[in-house]
Amino acid sequence: MKIKNGDKENSSASKHCWIERLSKSNDFVHEHTSLRENEPFWLSYYRTLISSDILHKDVLPFLQDRLSLEELKSKIPVQEIILSNDAEEIIQSIMNGSIAIQIHQLDEDCLLINIANSKFRDVSMPMLESSALGPQVGFIEELDTNINLIRKRLPVPELLVHEMKVGALSKTRVAVIYMDGIADPENVNTVIQRINDIQYDHIQDSSYISSMIEDNSNSLFPQSISTERTDRVAAGLTEGKIIIAVDGSPNLVILPVTLMESFIAMEDYSYSWIIGNFFRLLRLLSVFISGMVTPMYVAIMTYHYELIPARLLETLVGSRATVPFPPFLEALFLELMIEMVKEAGIRLPFKIGQSLGVVGGIVIGQAVVEAGLTSNVLLILVGLGTLASYTSPIYKFSNTIRFLKFPTIFLAQWFGLFGVFLTFQFIQVHLLRLTSLGRPYISQYPIRTTSFQDLWVRLPFSMQKENPKNLRPQKKRKSTGTGKNPEPMNDFYE
């Protein structure tokens, strides 16, 4: 904020002090092309921001002649050229990779030529949301490429992009993307207004934006989906969802979402609908397993020995016979260990990380069991629970599930199965109160028929007729019903 105020004072005091301000940095270049100082031209740019290739090939040759700025503007073969005398604008575009050309050093008028060096990594496979079938294109850190990827999937003029700049320091470009005529304008306005209201100086990632505009930022559950899959984003847009893309972040944010969408993988649509449903319901089941299995072990082994089947008794008691800790500490110890292995696996450099996966954790676990510190039944359960938590296609959601295990284990220790039930109820009440962009997070209740077309289960495409109602889309049906698809253009042989 301080800097911003300083800006305004400076610009009002002198139109030229931008050169002074910028030249404090060593990578700022301020030079002139001829031998004598009062002759044109003066160039100012950040060496680190521009592509010197374009500078030498496309810009410098034209500066040999004494042309006016207007003439230069029409001659230089670069797309983005502006003529400006506003110091603020000049600073801004130099910061974005333009060079400023002045005829004399003290001229107010500048020609701003954008020759920014935009070297980003190539479009590659999605790293977190990989899938066996389906498109293998993931978003990258550059906003324009990302929008390009979306536009390729939805080449219609109804796809609108509303761009904003957020953050006094980072000046991050944030784009709100939606389908005009499908997305509820109320949702669009809410998103734009909330992004405008952000008072934070630097935005490093789309997660900053999503957690700042969330309805309840204290909730453990992600109220938006962060995705790097292009197909998920395009599918969301056609249903009337709103996408927030942030420059510098490969993850796009989808709003509003419901809880069930965390179980939907785009791969479901690649299989036959029956197989797709099987996997979708399997994910739902595995979240329950993941969250419940260790707390249930603690509860049953600590309080409810009656519930153990007679034939299982010997296995369970036998495995705990030499364990010196109560089941609670045993479970906590093993769960924390698995979490540590997972955390270290992410933080470790790639090459070391490979050798230490969850598998490494199981090996350590096996050693722990052999040492008699935990029971092997628990090791199996913890392994199963951890494995199950990874089935959710949404990474943030699977983290939530793994975290929720810990309070449940504590309550299981204090109150037994009643405690497990209590956490379950608590989560349920919390989820019922939760909203995403003002829309209920568990919009599955009251039950709507659209929930059974493509949410809980996925019906064959011919039976998916309506867009989900909870988003209040302006377009109610999935098919516009024009009847005929456009003929493919095939003029090669003509």
Partner 1 sequence: MVNRLAVWLFLILLLTGCSFLPTNIVNEINLIQGVGYDLAGKNNIKGTVVFPIIKKGSSYSEVKTAFGQSSKEIRTKLSNETRFRLVSGQLRLTLYGKTLAKQGINDFVDTLNRDPSIGSLIQLAIVDGDTNELLKMKKYKEENISIYLQEMLDQNMEYGRLPRTDLQTFLLQLFQIGQDPYLPLIKKVDHNIQITGMAIFNYDQYVTSISLEELFIFKALLDQNRNGLNRFILKNGDKVVLETLNSNTKYKVKIVNGRPEYIIHLKMKTKLQEFAPSKKKRQAFDKKKYQKQVEHKLEKNALKMINQFKNHQVDPLGFGAKYKEHYRGFNEKQWKKFYPNVKVRVIANVDIRQTGIVD
Residue 277 CB, nearest approach to partner 1 (Å):
37
Q: Which is nearer to partner 1, 237 or 298 (CB)?
A: 298
Closer CB to partner 1, 35 or 321, in the complex: 321
Residue with structure tokens 């705990």?
Answer: 320
In the bound state with partner 1, the residue whose beta carbon lies nearer, of 90 and 299, is 299
CB atoms under 10 Å from CB of 466, counted, come to 17
Largest CA distance in the chain: 99
Q: Which of 327, 323, 321 is nearest to 302 (CA)?
A: 327
Between 117 and 319, whose beta carbon lies closer to partner 1?
Answer: 319
Q: List alpha helices for 252-272, DSSP H.
A: none
Taking the least distance from each CB to partner 1, the nearer of 1 and 310 is: 310
Closer CB to partner 1, 418 or 461, in the complex: 418
The least CB distance from residue 388 to partner 1, in Å, is 24
Tokens of 219: 């909730």
Instruction: Return the number of the residue (135 or 326) whose C-beta is nearest partner 1.
Output: 326
Among residues 271, 215, 176, 266, the alpha carbon closest in space to that of 438 is found at: 215
Three-state SS for 303?
coil
272 alpha-carbon distance from chain centroid: 28
CA distance 313 to 335: 23
Contacts with partner 1 by CB under 8 A lie at 301-306, 308, 310-311, 313-314, 316-323, 326-328, 410, 413-416
CB of 386 to partner 1, least distance (A): 23
CB 78 within 8 A of CB 106: no
User: With respect to partner 1, which residue has the nearer C-beta, 148 or 217?
Assistant: 217
Q: What is the rounded CA–CA span in Å between residue 263 and residue 279? A: 9
C-alpha distance from residue 221 to each of 391, 396, 397 (Å): 16, 8, 7
Tokens 């404090």 belong to: 24
Q: Give the shortest CB-389-to-partner 1 separation in angstroms.
A: 24
Question: Which residue do the tokens 């249930």 mark?
Answer: 296
86 residue type, one letter: D
Residue closer to partner 1 by CB (options 310, 489) is: 310
CB of 44 to partner 1, least distance (A): 56
CB 332 to partner 1: min, Å? 10
Query: Closest approach of Cβ 422 to partner 1, in Å?
Result: 13
Computed from CA positions of residues 326, 332, 337, 342, in that sequence, does the dihedral angle turn out positive or negative? positive
Cβ closer to partner 1: 40 or 327? Answer: 327
Note whether 481 and 465 are within 8 A (CB): no
Alpha-helix residue ranges (DSSP H) falling in 182-309: 185-196, 206-213, 230-238, 273-302
Least Å distance, CB 425 to partner 1, is 17
Instruction: Report the distance separating Cα 491 and Cα 471, nearest Å.
Output: 42
Q: Find the shortest distance in angstroms from Cβ 429 to partner 1.
A: 16
Parallel/antiparallel/unpaired status of strands 435-436 and 81-84:
unpaired
Q: How far is the CB of 263 from partner 1 (least distance, A)?
A: 31
Rounded to an integer, what distance in angstroms lies between the CA atom of residue 385 and that of residue 342?
13
Say which amino acid occupies 32.
H
Query: Residue 122 or 306: which CB sits closer to partner 1?
Result: 306
- Shortest CB 336 distance to partner 1, Å: 14
d(CA 65, CA 196): 46
Any bridge partners for residue 43, and if so which? Answer: 31, 101
DSSP 43: E
